[in-house]
Amino acid sequence: MHIPATSLLQSLAFFTFSAACVWVAGARLAYLADALADRFKLGKSLVGLLLLSLATSLPEVATTLSAAAQQSRNLVLNNLFGGIALQTAILAMADFWAHGPITNYPRKANHALEATLLVLLLSVTLIITNLGETFVFAGVGLGSLCIAVIYGGAIWLLRRYDASSDWVPVDLPDPEPLVFPAPTGLGQAGNVNLIWQAVFACIAILVFGLLLVVFADRIADQSGLGTGFIGVTLLAGATSLPELSTSIAAVRIGAYTMAISNIFGSNLIMLVLVFPADILFRSGPILQNTSPMVSLSLAFGLTVTSIYLVGLIVRRKPWIGSIGLDSILVMLTFLASIAAYYYVR
């Protein structure tokens, strides 16, 4: 994508405009996904895991593959792994719009299983990055292939488990959605119309998401902060904007399970993108000789996911205002991660 040269102030202005467009498109997509789930009798958690998470991850997909083709290892890994703690913190921020802790709402074990499989995949990735890619074939490491295989198994298990009800919590909060006016016209729109609107929202997320990446990279160079720190902060934040807008919109209309699955599903996608990135990265295995920031971002991803896993299992947890203690701990951990990234940059 060729964009004319801009000054730092112009880059910031275009970055802000693109962010606003991504926000609007992401929120609209959440309403459309909720309407389509109701129309086709699909589970909200399944829609969040497979449809919404993939749609909101389009900027990450494009950014990762583009950076890998340009042989930018640090930008690929810092953007992917740095976005995991950030996207989990997005779920914590969405808790402000829920009636009580958001992790109290799931009625099946799907989300706890999603978090557990995410912890597994994060742990395997952390082990690979610390050991280095020992086995390499055609420039692609066995570790990245292993991550892709585990991801495929995780999605298969989650889809199969979606219809199961062998674990049911008690003392559940009121399932009624919040009183919030969803966009008018969705109830009267036909199925084809809803699908086309969702397609256009996805295209808007992809296009303006890519513009966010372009201007985030320019801001990194023009501000002198470098792609390492920018990769795990501004760039990861830019590509995570769709998840933020869709999650908040989903919570505001009471689609709590869709919001949770959207974030966990997006984080799983962030990890499996290592495999296609490794194929495009021709300077050796992409998980070999990684920087300390990569291991640090994976460790923080493990921490925030584990906090929410505990929150999903422990149904009666302390509240502060209307926010669950688990969400507060996730936000504090994310803030600590920013300080840690700056320290090791």
pLDDT in tens, 118-175: 999 999 999 999 888 767 777 788 889 999 999 999 999 888 877 665 666 555 555 4
1-10: list long-range contacts, CB under 8 Å, 24+ apart. 1/210, 1/211, 1/214, 3/211, 3/214, 3/215, 6/215, 6/218, 7/222, 8/218, 8/219, 8/222, 8/223
Q: Which domains can be identified in the chain, with CATH numbers?
A: 8-344 (1.20.1420.30)
pLDDT in tens, 279-314: 998 888 888 888 888 899 999 999 999 999 998 888
Quick one: pLDDT band at residue 95, thresholds 50, 70, 90? confident
Question: Could you tell me the two tokens for 173?
Answer: 């909060």
pLDDT in tens, 234-257: 666 777 788 888 888 888 887 888
Q: Please check the confidence at residue 116 and state whether its pLDDT lies above 50.
A: yes
Alpha carbon 332 to its chain centroid, in Å, reads 18
Amino acid at 183: P
Return the higher-pLDDT residue of 199 and 60.
199
Q: Please check the confidence at residue 227 and state whether its pLDDT lies above 60.
A: no
Q: Alpha-carbon distance 138 to 152, whole Å?
A: 22
pLDDT at 283: 82
Contact 330, 88 (CB under 8 A): yes
Return the higher-pLDDT residue of 236 and 101.
101
Return the higher-pLDDT residue of 63 and 16.
16
Q: What is the mean pLDDT of the chain?
A: 82
Interhelix angle 256-272/73-94, rounded to 10 degrees, is 170
Place of tokens 């995410």: 118
Phi-psi region of 78 (alpha: psi -120 to 50; beta: other; left: phi over 0): alpha
Place of tokens 């991801």: 151
Q: Alpha-carbon distance 6 to 150, whole Å?
A: 42
Q: Alpha-carbon distance 142 to 173, whole Å?
A: 45
pLDDT at 300: 95
pLDDT at 288: 85
Q: Alpha-carbon distance 52 to 251, whole Å?
A: 14
Helix (H, G, I), strand (E, B) or coil at 101: coil
Query: What share of the chain in percent tops pLDDT 90?
Result: 21
Q: What is the number of H-type helices and E-type strands within the chain?
A: 15, 4
pLDDT at 177: 46
| pTM as predicted | 0.83
pLDDT at 317: 72
Amino acid at 247: S
pLDDT at 232: 53
Phi, psi of 173 (to 5 degrees): -70, 170
